[in-house]
Structure 1
């Protein structure tokens, strides 16, 4: 026996499968045997068994032991409601089917609230499923609720007593690794900017200049290594690469803040990439700010690892204020290149400031006073939990949400199956719906792929069960002894070997248990096989008729929509920046988006461009909200897509690269708008505003052109209008001219110059990300 056990423990997730099988056997069979033979209450025994099995075999409950126990206890009242509803609605097939649709949809859709609710969806559906079938016996409701209570309480108790398999790495630790990696990248970039070009002053100093050049090359090589390490660490925090139980997808304050920390750190890395590609130095002020930025990022990493906010550190905020003041003093004689470089350095530091604040909010720190204003970067921190949950649920109430599609598809399949079972009067009809829950996938191809091995496994299990019933007959002692063995072996080895083995084990278990409640029936295995065929066929039909491509059909549309909304936001945010605080709407009506005369005449007039132009008209009040909502829907589709295609070898499109322009728009635009709402700068002069709007229009056109790469799956690779060198940037030349004309250096004028530079750096950064999408498509071709 040690050989097979050793083999199982060496398999991927083998220990976890063995633990869950033991958990199901002990929790489920203890209550079943105690109530069936100790109290002679077969009805209670059945519900005790089905109170435990959904939680042990069909659900994923994340978290430490104490948290899991609280979750199980919270499931108990929900289970009472569902069993009561199923018992009362079983009077008619139509009422049971309506209830099945509501329960199936609600349990699945609540998964948008995070892995804790999503992992319990199958359990909630099964708690309603069993009592909603005949016999209609409301007088037995107390027995059913008593059995369910025993099963759930035993599940919680046994879970605390069993050993736990190694848990997945918490998301906060993965995020801390990414923050630390970006901090290292930031520090090496700062050293490069401190030393870059130091050898040029040596001129013809010969060996001294050569030595300085060697030092700069070494610093650049180190920065490039740190750049790759930061990229890999951030890739490890993608939701599609994180264990489902650890994904920060709920509406809790911690998950929302961790999500924002990753967005801020990703923004920092994007700015560092630009600095590494075009840094010119030496620049002691920028190098010092980058050094303080790296220290602040390391502090945020410590908060994430420890799970405690700790004391607030304002060193980066002080350094950032000093840097802004230094930029104002250095405006006389400033170049376009230095204006853009300083804006990028400042954007990196501001992103790190937000990352540190988000990390502290995630672990209970109150929102700092500097962020407590309308339009601030952490609006959810001031909301109560119900408001946060409602916003998350409302976001996915759209046909474009893959989570809503999944919920509707499953609910429809379960309701139709319940009607068919009632119309045909199938015995043990709940097995039909059980098959749908266990075999139905999020795409037609996935469901069809799961069905043949399942039918094969059920057929093998049914044949073996029929032989057992014929040979053993009415011998309860055999079934009592055999059930634990089949539980342990079948549900530990079966998942390792595949779907066919799991379904064979499930068939044997069900026959063994029902033989102890009802007189053994040799026709029961054939009924089980028929029910699986019917349930699998209904699930396959539902998958084929409702969103058959799964996330694959929605992902491309969602990513394109995100890119289009990001392009729109480039223009609406720029209009808001060009106006004085609070005057966005007036400027929108004044321009009426009649700036088409400034647009390149070579822009293709596609339907995408027309729709984008139309949708930008009324967004100035909150220009980033549409892009942010589109981003969340695209990320949900991408996460499901990666789950559907896990383990496949074929290359997939670079979806993360395609979404990067939108990410940059949301993060960078949000930082600029936050500064603008604080009243930094008056309304821009008309010439500067026109140049910035023209640049925004050009960048938006490039982003829209890049969407054609995604829309055509790489078949259409357009030409972009870039690149965007600083020396040729019209807004930067305008800013330099204003800085040189204003020798007095008044604060308002300096703020205007810096605002032009910051907005220009943000827009050209978005254009740089759009160009990467096209370059990757060209390389793939």
Structure 2
């Protein structure tokens, strides 16, 4: 290791994680302490001082809004009116225990359920919950509402200013739009490579494709940059990333395949130019869209060209390049929607881009209503937390616990999505609270009522608490927070060592409530729901595959976009599976056995490929009536579709956590691939397009089940 240059001392560096935690701690401490001291010692208002401090602590110290300081400030600013509304509601409902409990049940559910809106609303949820919890306890004092609102407003405004301007954070990694632009650049390079001799991608190019594609996975993207919201632009940006990953995979599969020539060359050139155009648009440029228009024309020329006795190898290459063109068009259209919003809606196909013409309230309603079902993990989490908070509020009200809101705060902060995780968290938290309570008891007994000591010690203690807590874990956080609240309340009113006793008892009671409801309500979190939702999604995909191949075989009128067989049920199953995967990825890695190596992302992508392929085959631009396939190609397409669907059902059975343990790993033999290689006589282009789609689905299934060396189960015959 190289030392520092002679005569120049080495710079001291904080360990990883401490620097960011220290910056956030400074912002919380400055905003909370400034509001607290301003009202307590400047205006002699203990009520306003309390709300100024806890508003800042709730929305920054207890919430986990992702992103840089400025990104958090942008989230906090529109949340200020919601905080004031919750304080008003909690103040008026605290008149009776039953009204406060009922309000806690409703408010707790709503604020937890808003997590369907993405990482930022989910991160703000705990802080917003505390904004209702704090005023929902006696004394019933509506006359102090003005002071409460004034204190909270000042605390929140100070916090927004601190997040925006104090110790700015560095952006970690590239934004999602830039990642998608890099994927488009990589696609352009791949298309260019396939246009030049020897018409294959070398090992370096394939490794680059894999790296760029992996960078778009949600687990590799910082929470603040994930396009997970229900809005048009966020949906379109997520769609862009998915289409880019699909395009890269399709281009990589062409390596060693079709040689450039004729219409295939025209399509690949248009794919290259469209990818360059997409990257420019994502980086803020304003390309005219000519490349996408050329790609549309080239794709149409390949898809609708007459069957003039072309050999099967040529028709198969045409089908493969149509898969590439389709993915490139989807990427380009989604990117334009992500950048221009509703202004780009006329260019979007109404089926695949169903959200393009919807306004924000409608899109939010679609997201919320789609998760108001028992199988939604967002619904499960909201019910679990709302019931736990309402029970804690009832116990605190009936027993008239001193500082009862600490009990609800413990329930809020210590309840996790799995019973095992809650038990482990509570054990560590109680240990930390006990240590903190002992220190508080000694401190209060020694100092007595000398508020000057508490006032001087509070800011440095807050700085330490909000630095160590996020880095060292929940035990340290509870110990340090116990000290912080003790110093706060010791300045608000004379306090004895019994304040530490109340704090410990409240945390113990709140933890017990969290454990009980963690055991009663979906104790395994997203584990079983993930397997169940993925299995259901694959069953819906199998039904769509069978229905699509059957309809392709018999022909008929063009299917309206978005109404292909099984389209609606598969789309909803995908939404549920994506939500379960998002929660599963956020839970601690306690995974052994099949879950440890399962590629859930590949499972989700296979569902999207089924939807896209079904729409592409059943919603052609021309003609209005699709002719039926000849007898032998129709029988072959139906047979291959049935086999692929049967493989999907096998994988689904393996994933579904029924009464029996997951089945043995599945090996998907190349039977259907053999069927494709035996080209039926007189097969038209539509047959090869169908066979190529089914072949890509088989490749998706191979990625789901892993290498053949890890699994052996016969494919159904």
Report the Cα distance in structure 1 between the residues aligned to 2:54 and 2:676, rounded to whole angstroms.
Answer: 71
Distance 1:672 1:228, change over 3 A: farther
| One of 213, 216, 237 as aligned partner of 2:216 | 237
Q: CA deviation at 1:560?
A: 0.8
| One of 696, 700, 703 as aligned partner of 2:648 | 703
Structure 2 residue 241 is matched with structure 1 residue 262: yes
Q: For residue 626 of structure 2, what is the aligned residue in structure 1?
A: 682
Structure 2 residue 697 is matched with structure 1 residue 766: yes
Q: For residue 636 of structure 1, what is the aligned residue in structure 2?
A: 579
Structure 2 residue 508 is matched with structure 1 residue 564: no
Structure 2 residue 150 is matched with structure 1 residue 171: no
Q: CA deviation at 1:686?
A: 6.4
Q: CA deviation at 1:340?
A: 1.9
Distance 1:240 1:301, change over 3 A: same
Q: For residue 486 of structure 2, what is the aligned residue in structure 1?
A: 511
| One of 271, 281, 300 as aligned partner of 1:303 | 281
Question: Where do residues 732-743 of structure 1 align in structure 2 (5 Å cutoff)?
Answer: 733-736=680-683
Distance 1:580 1:312, change over 3 A: farther
**Counterpart contact for 1:698–1:721, Cα < 8 Å:** no
**Counterpart contact for 1:309–1:365, Cα < 8 Å:** no
Distance 1:622 1:397, change over 3 A: farther
Distance 1:320 1:74, change over 3 A: closer
Structure 2 residue 415 is matched with structure 1 residue 440: yes
**Counterpart contact for 1:236–1:242, Cα < 8 Å:** yes
Deviations 1:702-757 (A, max 9, x none): 21122233337764245656433477467x52543xxxxxxxxxxxxxxxx32232
Report the Cα distance in structure 1 between the residues aligned to 2:302 and 2:77, rounded to whole angstroms.
Answer: 59
Report the Cα distance in structure 2 between the residues aligned to 1:47 and 1:329, rounded to whole angstroms.
Answer: 71
Deviations 1:140-199 (A, max 9, x none): 2122112111211121222233012223332222222333334333433444xx535xxx
Structure 2 residue 474 is matched with structure 1 residue 499: yes
Report the Cα distance in structure 2 between the residues aligned to 1:674 and 1:327, rounded to whole angstroms.
Answer: 12
Q: CA deviation at 1:388?
A: 0.9
Distance 1:143 1:686, change over 3 A: same
**Counterpart contact for 1:451–1:536, Cα < 8 Å:** yes
Q: For residue 531 of structure 1, what is the aligned residue in structure 2?
A: 506
Report the Cα distance in structure 2 between the residues aligned to 1:720 and 1:439, rounded to whole angstroms.
Answer: 44
TM-score, normalised with respect to structure 2 = 0.90
Distance 1:470 1:714, change over 3 A: same
Distance 1:256 1:336, change over 3 A: same
Q: For residue 347 of structure 1, what is the aligned residue in structure 2?
A: 323
Q: CA deviation at 1:294?
A: 2.8
3-state SS in 2 of match to 1:675: coil
Q: For residue 4 of structure 2, what is the aligned residue in structure 1?
A: none
Question: Where do residues 266-305 of structure 1 align in structure 2 (5 Å cutoff)?
Answer: 266-276=245-255, 279-281=257-259, 283=261, 285-304=263-282
| One of 123, 133, 138 as aligned partner of 1:119 | 123
**Counterpart contact for 2:246–2:327, Cα < 8 Å:** yes
Report the Cα distance in structure 1 between the residues aligned to 2:14 and 2:615, rounded to whole angstroms.
Answer: 49
3-state SS in 2 of match to 1:379: coil
Deviations 1:530-585 (A, max 9, x none): 11111112112211111111111211111111111111111233344456664769
Of 102-111 and 290-299, the range deviating more from structure 2: 290-299
Q: CA deviation at 1:764?
A: 2.5
Q: For residue 748 of structure 1, what is the aligned residue in structure 2?
A: none
Of 474-483 and 234-243, the range deviating more from structure 2: 234-243
**Counterpart contact for 1:576–1:584, Cα < 8 Å:** no
Q: For residue 5 of structure 2, what is the aligned residue in structure 1?
A: none
Q: CA deviation at 1:659?
A: 3.5
**Counterpart contact for 1:735–1:756, Cα < 8 Å:** no
Q: CA deviation at 1:312?
A: 2.4
Structure 2 residue 20 is matched with structure 1 residue 41: no
Distance 1:259 1:672, change over 3 A: farther
Q: For residue 464 of structure 2, what is the aligned residue in structure 1?
A: 489
RMSD between superposed Cα atoms in Å: 2.8
Distance 1:482 1:580, change over 3 A: same
Structure 2 residue 185 is matched with structure 1 residue 180: yes
Report the Cα distance in structure 2 between the residues aligned to 1:378 and 1:49, rounded to whole angstroms.
Answer: 46
Report the Cα distance in structure 1 between the residues aligned to 2:334 and 2:229, rounded to whole angstroms.
Answer: 16
**Counterpart contact for 2:559–2:618, Cα < 8 Å:** no
Report the Cα distance in structure 2 between the residues aligned to 1:152 and 1:347, rounded to whole angstroms.
Answer: 51
Q: For residue 20 of structure 1, what is the aligned residue in structure 2?
A: 24
3-state SS in 1 of match to 2:52: helix
Q: For residue 600 of structure 1, what is the aligned residue in structure 2?
A: none
Deviations 1:663-717 (A, max 9, x none): 32123223333425x5465332463545433432222112112223333776424
Q: For residue 110 of structure 1, what is the aligned residue in structure 2?
A: 114
Report the Cα distance in structure 1 between the residues aligned to 2:298 and 2:368, rounded to whole angstroms.
Answer: 43
Q: CA deviation at 1:494?
A: 3.1
3-state SS in 2 of match to 1:146: helix
Deviations 1:263-317 (A, max 9, x none): 22232233234323x615464542442243133223322322x2x2512232243
**Counterpart contact for 1:23–1:158, Cα < 8 Å:** yes
3-state SS in 2 of match to 1:540: helix
Report the Cα distance in structure 2 between the residues aligned to 1:728 and 1:120, rounded to whole angstroms.
Answer: 53
Report the Cα distance in structure 1 between the residues aligned to 2:389 and 2:118, rounded to whole angstroms.
Answer: 23
Question: Where do residues 28-177 of structure 1 align in structure 2 (5 Å cutoff)?
Answer: 28-62=32-66, 68-169=72-173, 170-177=175-182
3-state SS in 1 of match to 2:340: coil
Q: CA deviation at 1:486?
A: 0.3
**Counterpart contact for 1:461–1:504, Cα < 8 Å:** yes
Distance 1:544 1:189, change over 3 A: farther
Of 476-485 and 419-428, the range deviating more from structure 2: 419-428
Structure 2 residue 467 is matched with structure 1 residue 464: no
Q: CA deviation at 1:489?
A: 1.3
Distance 1:560 1:189, change over 3 A: farther
Q: For residue 671 of structure 2, what is the aligned residue in structure 1?
A: 723
Question: Where do residues 261-660 of structure 1 align in structure 2 (5 Å cutoff)?
Answer: 261-276=240-255, 279-281=257-259, 283=261, 285-304=263-282, 306=283, 308=284, 310-322=286-298, 324-325=300-301, 331-364=307-340, 371=347, 375-578=350-553, 582=557, 623-646=566-589, 651-660=596-605
3-state SS in 1 of match to 2:216: coil
Deviations 1:63-111 (A, max 9, x none): 6766654543322221221111111111222211111111111111111
Structure 2 residue 664 is matched with structure 1 residue 661: no
Q: CA deviation at 1:320?
A: 4.9
Report the Cα distance in structure 2 between the residues aligned to 1:119 and 1:563, rounded to whole angstroms.
Answer: 31
TM-score, normalised with respect to structure 1 = 0.83
How many pairs align?
695
Distance 1:364 1:573, change over 3 A: same
Structure 2 residue 198 is matched with structure 1 residue 195: yes
Report the Cα distance in structure 2 between the residues aligned to 1:330 and 1:19, rounded to whole angstroms.
Answer: 66
Report the Cα distance in structure 2 between the residues aligned to 1:395 and 1:441, rounded to whole angstroms.
Answer: 23
Report the Cα distance in structure 1 between the residues aligned to 2:184 and 2:710, rounded to whole angstroms.
Answer: 30
Report the Cα distance in structure 2 between the residues aligned to 1:63 and 1:543, rounded to whole angstroms.
Answer: 29
Q: CA deviation at 1:16?
A: 1.8
Distance 1:249 1:383, change over 3 A: same
